[in-house]
Structure 1
Amino acid sequence: MRKKERNLRSLDMRRTLLVTLPFAGALAFWQAYDGIIPLILRDTFHLGDTLAGAVMALDNVCALFLLPFFGSISDRCHSRLGRRTPFILVGSLLAALLIPLLAVADQMRSLPFFFTVLCLVLVVLSSYRSPCVALMPDVTPRPIRAKADAFNSLMAAASGVVILISISLAVPDVEHPNYMPVFLIISAIIILCTVLFAVFFREKKAVEKMHTESLAMGISEADMDASDEGGKEKETDAVVRRSLLGILLCVFFYFMASNAVTSAFSKYASQVWGAGGGSFANFQLVATMVTLISYMPMANISCRIGRKLTTYIGIGLMCFGGFCIFMTQGYSPLIYVFVSISGVGMGTVATTIYPMIMEVASEKTTGRYTGYYYTASMSAQIITPILSGAVMEFIGYRYLYLYAIVCALLAALPLAMVQKGNTILLKDLDLDHPTGELLGAGN
C-alpha cells in the first residue's frame, strides 16, 4: 500500500521532462528578450525608457489576442499527434529560424527590419505558447500538478541559466556588441528541445495514462471529463466565478510586479550598480540558480499547506527582497542575496498560481483557461513596462523596486476571494476507494 501511495503521489519524471522541453526552449528566448532587447533599444536605436517600455510591451499585446485564440483552437484540434503537439512542432521550428535575424537587424542598425523580425518572432511564439503550457495539465493528475508546474519552471530556469551564462561570457563591455552568438544558442536550444519532444513523447498515450492514474488516485471520470462549460461547476457558479476572478486579479498584479523588474533589470543593473556589458547577467544567474533549487521544495510545501497560503509566502518574499534592494542604493555583495530572495518569491508564486487556474478548469477547457491566465498576465505585461519605464525615466531608476513592491502587495489582496482552486491535498486522497472518490477535498 505504501509503495502504491508513493508511486501515485510521485511525478512520472520521464513524461514530465518531455512535456516541459518545448516550454524550456521558448523560455530561453524570453530570458534573452528581457535582458538583451532593452539594451538594443537603448544603445543601438537610442529609444527612451518610456518608449522602450512600449516596445517591450508589444509581445504582450500580441499574446493578449493570440494566446487565448491558439489555446482555444488547440482545445478543438483532433490530429493523430494529439491536440497540442502540432502547434508545438511548427511554432518552435519557425521561431528557431527567425530569432537569429534579430542580431542581423541589430548589426545593420535598421529599426524597421528589427521591428518586423521582432513582431514575426512574437507571433510565432504566441502560436504555440498556450498549447505548450496547456499540455502539462492534460497529462498530469490534478493533485500533483503543482509539482509538475514546479518541474516545468525548473526546466525553464535551467534553459535560462544557459542563456545567462552565454550573455555573461559572449557579450563584451563595448559600445555595440554582437549578440549573434547568444541568439544562435537560443535557436539551438529550441531545436534540441523540439527534436527530443517529437521523438520521445506521444501525447495521446500520455493523456490515457493520466486518466488511469487519476482514477487510481480517487478522481472520478466526472471530475476529469467535465462539460465544456467549465470545471466541476459551470462558470456561472458564483463561488467558481468569484474564485476565478480572484486568481486572475492575483495573476495580473503579480505580473505587474515581476515583469516590471525582469523587463528592466539589465538597464537597472547598469545604471544603479554599474554593471557593464553582459555582467548584469551575473546577478540574474545567481538568483536563477537559487530559485531553481527552491522550485520543488516550494511545490511540496504547496501540496501540504495549499497553494493559496504558499502564494502568500511567495508574495512576502518578493516584497522583502525588493525592499532590501530598494534600501541598498549602490552596489553591495548583499545584492546577490536580496535578488535571490525576490527571485524565490517570484518562482513560488509562478509555481502555484497556474495550477490554481487549472483546478477550476476541466480537461476539455485547459486551453481556454490557459488563455484566461495569459490574458490576465499579458494585460499586466502590456501596462507595466510603460509605467515602470516612466517611473525610471521621470522619478529615478532606484524606484523600480518600490513600484514592484506596491504591485506585489496588490496581488495579495484578491486571494481572499479564492475558495476554489486551492488544491487537493495529498493527505486527502482516498487511494483505496473502489469508485474513485475524494475525502472531502476539491477546493
Structure 2
Amino acid sequence: MTAPHRSGAHAAEPDSSGTSTRSSSRAKKTKAHAPKASAHNTVDARFGRVVILDITPSQEGDAFPARVEIGETITVSAQLFIEGRMKVGATAVLRNPQGRVVQRRAMSCVNAGLDRWSVRLQAGKHSDALPWDKAFAAVKRQLGLWSVTIEGWEDRYALWLHDAAIKVQVNDDVANALDEGASILTRWAEDADSGLGARAKKVLLKAARDIADPSVDIAKRFAAADSAEIHRLHDSNPLRDHISESQAKVFRVQRPKSSFASWYQFFPRSEGAYLDPRSHQIVQGNFLSAAAGLERARKEGFDIVYLPPIFPIGRSNRKGRNNALIAGPTDPGSPFGIGSALGGHDTVDPKLGTMDDFRSFVGSAHALGLEIALDFALQCSPDHPWVKQHPDWFRHKADGSIAFAENPP
C-alpha cells in the first residue's frame, strides 16, 4: 500500500424570587457609611477585586475545550479569594452557544483552606434522539461551544453578620454595628443585581427598620437581620459587592450517546457470503445480503456498526488468504488497499452494490436504532486514481518513486 502524507490539525433562567418591582416603603436612613452600590468590574478579568484562578474542567491546559454530553451534569470549580478578612461569594453563569444565560448558580466553598469553590451545572436538556430522528433538530441547536463564567464578589452581609454577632455578644460598639446592618439591608433591598421581587424587598426593608429601632431590645434587633427568611434570600438572591468576572471557560457540548457506545466491527463482504456449488468459489456478500446481520448486532446490544473501508480494492500487490504475499485470482484482497480503476475514496465498491444499496443498508440500521461508522483510512493502493492525479500528496523515495508500505519486512 502507498500512504499519503497525514497532516496534523493543530439553560433555565437566572434564579429569582419574583419580578423586580420597586417597593414604596423605605427604611429610614442611617448615618453609618456603607460601600457604594454593586457594580461589575470593568478592568481585565485577571485583575478584579476578587481573584479567580484555576477554573475546571480543563482539557490539556485549555488547548482544547473540555467535552460533555448534552444533558450531562458537570462539576465546575475555581479558586477564589479576596484581600484581608473580607468574605467572598461566588456565582457560576452558564451560557449556551447563542450566548444566552441558561443557568446562574451559587457556588459553595468545598475547601476553605484552599479557597476552593464548586457547583454542578447541567449542559442542556438530556435527550436520546439520534441524528436521523425528527427530534434531533431541537437537540442540534443546543450543541456546540458553551461557556462558564465565574463571578466572584464581596459578601458584605455575611461579613457584617459575623462581626455584629460578636459585638452584640460582648456589648461592644453595638449601636454602630446595628446601624451598619440596617444600611446593608436597605441597600440590598434596592440593589438591582439581586433580582428581588416585591415581597423579598419588603422583608429586607422591614428588617432594616426593626434593627434600627433603638426602642427595641438589642438581641431582638439583631435577630431581625438574622432570620431564616433572610438567610434564604442570601442563598438565592444575595447582595453582591465589587463583582469580578472571570474569563470564560469554554467547553463543547456533544450529541446524545457521545460519551459511550459499543461498536461492532462488521465486514459486509463477509456477511451473506456463500460457496458457489458449481464453481466451488466463495461469492462475497454485499449491502443487500449484509442487512440481515444488522439484527444480530442489535440483539447483542451494540450501538454502532463499524464498517472497514467500503471502497474499491486495488489489484497491484494484492494480498491473498492468511496474509499471503501473492493473491489468487478470486481473492478479494485487503479492504485497506484502497483504490483501483473503479475509483477511490469517493466510490463505493461495485461488488458491494450501488450508492442506493448503501443508503438502504444505512436506513435498515437506523430503523433498528443502530448507527453506521465508516472507516476513512488514508491508505492507497498503487492503483488509486490519486496516485496519478496528485503525486504530490504522497511520500517519495530517493529515486523519485512513490514510497509504499513494505510488509514484510
TM-score class normalised by the smaller sequence: under 0.3
- The structure with the greater share of residues assigned to helix is 1
TM-score under structure 2 length normalisation:
0.23
Structure showing greater radius of gyration is 2
Higher relative contact order (CA 8 A, sep 6+): 1
What is the TM-score with the length of structure 1 in the denominator? 0.22
Structure holding more strand per residue: 2
